[in-house]
Amino acid sequence: METKLPRPSTAKSIRSVLLSRLLVSTALVLLLAGLVVYFVVRRSLARQFDVNLQDRLQGLASLLFQEGDRLLFEFSDELMPEYARASEPDFFELRFEDGRPIERSDSLGGDNLIPPDMGTDAAFYWSLQLPGGRSGRALASVVEVHHLYPEEGPDRPQAARVLIVVARGVEERIAAEHTVLLSCLASAGVLLIILGVLTLRTVSHALAPANHLAQVLRSMDVNHLPQKLDFGPLPVELMPIAETTEELVRRLDGALQRERRTTANIAHELRTPISELVTVSEVALHEDEDPDAQREAIGTIRAVAWRMGRMVSSLLKLARLESEGLSANREQVDLAELVRAVHQGLVLARDGEGPQVVFELEGAEFPAATVDADPDALSIVVTNLLENAMHYSCSACAVTVGLEFDGEGAQLRIQNRAEGLDAKDLDRFSEPFWRKDRARSDQDHSGLGLSLARVLAERCGWSIDFALEQGLVSVTLGIPSA
């Protein structure tokens, strides 16, 4: 049954994040561009409008003439019909500089076109409310009137200066601005849609390898992990994920297989003493007439039960070490002295039997032959390593114990000769219950010693390395300097 992890509400999709951010960014850019275009066009329209006003003013000025003392204004509605049309007319007004009116367009009616204070400006633009309530813009300028007959002599009167004001409604300009604005918005919208579609396709295409990677992982059978995952061609950015995932799967598979082997070995190892208890007791139950046989059977049952108890204790110890932390009581430990003491204890337990142990302890020659370690943990590790070597060493061979110190720490090396091993067995040395000879654990050896030593050493930050050379097995315990 597929188990899905609960997804937090804050979980986001790369696709949606990319799409939303790209679209928002694109929309902002298009909006900004549209506004820039709009304001540029708007300004251009305003300038064009003012230029048009200027042209109209010049046009009116060109109709002004001076003949002697008389001022002539050759205006007619036919000539400039924009001032006379019924709908949205333009306006003009002419005044002398002193304010005396000269002429005005009929469209003005009773209103005046009086500019605000012009100051010293030759031309002055301003926005105003036109007659009829229309919004408009006006231009006021003082012009010198041309003499009709410029060849008149120096006695001719001075050229009159006339204030001309022209005004137009800005409806067309406003309408044009609105059109530009709508066009910009519409264009931005269409562009946004097109870019959105393109972005969606691009993002989908870019994320396809990630989807494929997820699909490969989703289709993996967690009960039968593959040795190699086929991700197909992947982009450079995803390759570290694929490589790391493959490595993790491989290591996980190895760990699961080791766990399965350990579980099977534990079941097998426990079944064996249980079988012994069942068979011995069942046979003994029918030996009423042989008290000696029954007594012997009871003794056997007791011994097997104790052996089971030791095995279970070792298993529990191993499980505790693997799952819990180790509270270390560190102190300075004379490693050479500890190894000798462990050896003496093992010899005593074996009633003096077992292979000879040769010590090559150089530590005694060094002034600082101590290590900073938990003495109990160190004793357990050394005991298991040495006991294992003594158990599996051939009876006529010696077990060699070497000790070296350098600036980086201490190296305890235990060597024994054991036939029948090859290099690929080294990886399984510390596996619970593993032994080269596949027979069950014997009466005195649970098969957990090296496993316990390995786990305990790892907890204490020590190293255990196995080596095999020409039938000689070496186990090296490395204890770094504090």
Partner 1 sequence: MRILVIEDSAPMRNSICRGLVREGFAVDTAEDGEAGLSLARNNPYDVLVLDLMLPLLDGHAVLAGLNNRASRPHVLMLTAKDGIQDRVQGLNEGADDYLVKPFAFAELVARVRALVRRRYGEHNSVLAVGPLEIEPTSRRALLDGKLLDLSVREFALLEYLVTRCGETVTREEIEDHIYGVDRLPLSNAVDSTICILRAKLGPSGKDLIRTRRGLGYVFAQAV
Binding footprint of partner 1 on the chain (CB under 8 A): 264, 267-268, 271-272, 274-280, 282-284, 286-287, 293, 297, 300, 303-304, 437-440, 443
Whichever of 272 and 463 has its CB closer to partner 1, that residue is 272
Radius of gyration of the chain (CA): 53
CB 461: neighbour CB atoms within 10 A? Answer: 13
* Shortest CB 220 distance to partner 1, Å: 24
Between residues 303 and 421, which has the closer beta carbon with respect to partner 1?
A: 303
**Residue 220 CA: distances (Å) to CA of 14, 216, 256:** 23, 6, 15
Report the C-alpha gap between 356 and 358 in whole angstroms.
6
Q: In sequence order, what E strands does 300-408 have? A: 331-334, 357-361, 370-373, 399-406
For the packed helices 171-218 and 239-285, what is the interaxial angle rounded to 10 degrees?
30
- What is the closest distance, in whole angstroms, from the C-beta atom of residue 353 to partner 1 in the complex? 18
Residue 442 Cβ vs partner 1, minimum distance, rounded to whole Å:
8
- Nearest approach, Cβ of residue 421 and partner 1 (Å): 15
CA 8, 13, 14, 19 torsion: positive or negative? negative
Number of helices followed by number of strands (H, E) in the chain? 7, 15
Smallest distance from partner 1 to CB 284, Å: 8
What is the SS3 assignment for 413?
strand
Question: Closest distance between partner 1 and the C-beta of residue 306, in Å?
Answer: 13
Nearest approach, Cβ of residue 437 and partner 1 (Å): 5
- Give the pair of three-digit tokens for residue 244: 């790391």
* Residue (280 or 361) nearer to partner 1, CB: 280
- Min. distance of Cβ 246 from partner 1 in angstroms? 29
Query: Cβ closer to partner 1: 47 or 268?
Result: 268
Give me the least distance between CB of 436 and partner 1, in Å please: 10
Q: How far is the CB of 408 from partner 1 (least distance, A)?
A: 42
Q: Give the integer Cα–Cα distance in Å for 388 and 390.
A: 5
Cβ–Cβ < 8 Å for 234, 213: yes
- The enclosing H or E element of 94 equals strand 91-96
Structure tokens at 370: 């101590």
C-beta closer to partner 1: residue 244 or 275: 275
Q: What are phi and psi of 454, to 5 degrees?
A: -65, -50
Nearer to partner 1 (CB atom), residue 79 or residue 274: 274
Please, which residue, 11 or 439, has the CB nearer to partner 1? 439
First CA to last CA distance, the chain: 50
Q: Which is nearer to partner 1, 423 or 439 (CB)?
A: 439
Contacts of 111 (CB under 8 A, 6+ apart): 131
Which CB sits closer to partner 1, 436 or 459?
A: 436
Strand-strand pairing, 91-96 and 70-73? unpaired
Nearest residue (CB) to partner 1, 280 versus 342:
280
Closest-CA residue to 463 (of 479, 449, 481): 479
25, 31, 32, 33 alpha-carbon torsion, rounded to 10°: 110
The strand pairing partners of 139, in sequence order, are 125, 166
